[in-house]
A and B are shown apart, each in its own frame.
Chain A
């Protein structure tokens, strides 16, 4: 029901709120399941007032916006809503490709606090690809209404990345979310992302063995384990990326950003 989801609507619009999109310091990807309030978080962060629908499958294209924090400019890319990154529908592929090949400096995964277990499936898959992630634990107001309490510190410890409780509808927790994004982008937060474990020994052996080989060829790749997982699943897109050296090109931005931040801190 929405014109704002329509590509015709978005083309030719001036960059949102005059943020110069050609000139940003960090790229932030926004991922999440349907109905987690992801679009609301996107609007809240970018200051847009587009209407957000309450139904699955609303975001099928990549929307982009920008915001400033401190003296840094962030470009925010809203990915399609997905439950997983493991299957082959177009929207999942768009999300997966951007996190993997778009090499965002930070990936924010918006999760529904009232449906944490199901939402964590996506978080764990994202964490296999990138450790530079922030979990936005949204809809905590609704969780409270359902008498659910989520221990975000425990969750952050288990996941190994920052977890920020928010209620984007009521603009609660957004300053903290911005700070967490900034800290991960600038390399101030050390992330130790949770890795999927507990698989049978033979799977674990196959994955880690293959991952070692991949790391040997693409030393700067941070998602070797995930690439191994996908190759073992016969993912043609990933196999092609390995063959054509596309993965090797991923060493760039984030590493440079970390080094840059480290340099800046050292000189300060």
Chain B
């Protein structure tokens, strides 16, 4: 099949006469064709469509739209809805979390250990498989399943109803002011689910400049893998600052604050990029607000449980099980005196403390590059190891049972955690390099090592700077009081 099958002279003639005709027809040819299409479509539609009872009626959709996209009420309503979703998630997830943990870790784990001892499995094999792989998996399930099973259906209901494009509509103006494409608001909202998906979604942006901005800043949209970290740390450290009645509310508010900070960073980073590395004018576009559709509740519950909750949980388990194994090994391989994990943590500790975190958290983030989901389990395992707290764990590198938030808090406090550590962990969880899946997706979409590097390192550097500044201010204030 080659071009030689066709008369090359005739082909050239076609192209030449097309070129000549273009000059004759003039520059408004494109518009004239588009107008013709529109006029044709209007005629056909007019003949086919009849409207019953032409009197104007109360239009519910338009009324809702006026409210949720209004200049005054649009943003407050958005915040309230987000607050409500997180409040339901945080307060609702506690009980099932404890219940699952008590079964998986309180009952099944000791049974497995006894069984292994009974059939004389060597200590190191049962350590790797049961203490390492089984426990980390059990942990991920009990910590992540309940919040996800509440959060995703709620979020999906909002999405099905048609609310997300309204969020984009509310934010569109900000993006334009930041020198970015208005559609970036949509890809950012998509990033709230998964940054890799958000990066792919930037294909709807036709200008390469604005598309790059959207890709680089997508990581600031808090993704599924990071929501559980935020929700858990907010519940344990910030919720407990106030009375029990207010705890859920305060935790929800702090998670919303972090998510909003992410939106703010997206805008600031877009603004900076569009004035430095990626200069240019924002292009215009039209954003269609889809009609509100009554969500099919049961189908939504089904699909969000199967497609999102189980899928993400599965992804977490796939990464957590081998990570559990590695962490158990790292904790139990001794080089001379201390274990490998202790050496690594001690090495990272000065850097970590410098930015208001600690070596355990930094090591956890290195281990968790493939999936943000396992940050919390890793931190907990390493903390037990480093503090040597007894009564909760049963040896080095063993992930343990948490029957309540108090246990978790007292453990982390024993590991040297303060309120600052918690706040900075939440900040760092928002602002650090994307996970490896997202990095790979960015490379595939941009085809450029340079932009992939920018998208990877820029948030990391920013994250370190932000946590550093927060830590310094914190210490100053603490010193002043």
| Partner-B contacts on A (CB < 8 A) | 1-9, 34-35, 49-51, 53-57, 60-61, 80, 84, 86-91, 114, 116-118, 120-121, 123-125, 142, 147-152, 154-155, 158-159, 169, 194, 196-200, 202-203, 206, 209-210, 213-214, 216-218, 228-229, 231-234, 239, 242-245, 248-249
Could you tell me if A243 and B10 are in contact, using CB atoms closer than 8 angstroms? no
Could you tell me if B196 and A8 are in contact, using CB atoms closer than 8 angstroms? yes
Q: List B25-44 residues whose CB lies under 8 Å from chain A.
A: 25, 29-30, 32-34, 36-42, 44
Stretch at the interface among B1-9, B352-360, B418-426, B465-473: B1-9
Measured in the bound complex, the distance between the Cα atoms of B203 and A60 in whole Å is: 6
**Shortest Cβ gap from A55 to chain B (Å):** 4
Measured in the bound complex, the distance between the Cα atoms of B289 and A52 in whole Å is: 16
**Shortest Cβ gap from B234 to chain A (Å):** 21
CB pairs A–B below 8 angstroms (17 shown)? A1-B156, A1-B194, A1-B197, A7-B441, A8-B437, A49-B306, A49-B307, A54-B161, A90-B206, A147-B53, A150-B48, A158-B44, A199-B32, A210-B21, A213-B10, A233-B33, A242-B15
Could you tell me if A91 and B203 are in contact, using CB atoms closer than 8 angstroms? yes
Q: List B148-179 residues whose CB lies under 8 Å from chain A.
A: 155-156, 159-162, 164-165, 168
Could you tell me if A2 and B33 are in contact, using CB atoms closer than 8 angstroms? no
- The count of residues in chain B whose C-beta lies closer than 8 Å to any C-beta of chain A is 84
Could you tell me if A1 and B11 are in contact, using CB atoms closer than 8 angstroms? no
Measured in the bound complex, the distance between the Cα atoms of B444 and A55 in whole Å is: 25
Whose C-beta in chain B lies nearest to the C-beta of A87? B206
**Shortest Cβ gap from B306 to chain A (Å):** 7
Q: Which of B33, B187, B196 has the most CB of A within 10 A?
A: B33
Whose C-beta in chain A lies nearest to the C-beta of B7? A217
Which of B162, B194, B201 contacts A54 (CB under 8 A)? Answer: B162
Which of B46, B51, B159 contacts A1 (CB under 8 A)? Answer: B159
Stretch at the interface among B272-280, B296-304, B330-338, B409-417: B296-304
| Partner-A contacts on B (CB < 8 A) | 1-7, 10-11, 13-15, 17-18, 21-22, 24-25, 29-30, 32-34, 36-42, 44-53, 155-156, 159-162, 164-165, 168, 183, 186-187, 189-190, 192-194, 196-197, 200-201, 203-206, 287-288, 290-291, 293, 296, 300, 302-304, 306-308, 311-312, 437, 440-441, 444
Question: Contacts A117-B42, A148-B49, A198-B40 given: A34-B290 contact, CB under 8 Å?
Answer: yes
Could you tell me if A5 and B197 are in contact, using CB atoms closer than 8 angstroms? yes
Could you tell me if A54 and B290 are in contact, using CB atoms closer than 8 angstroms? yes
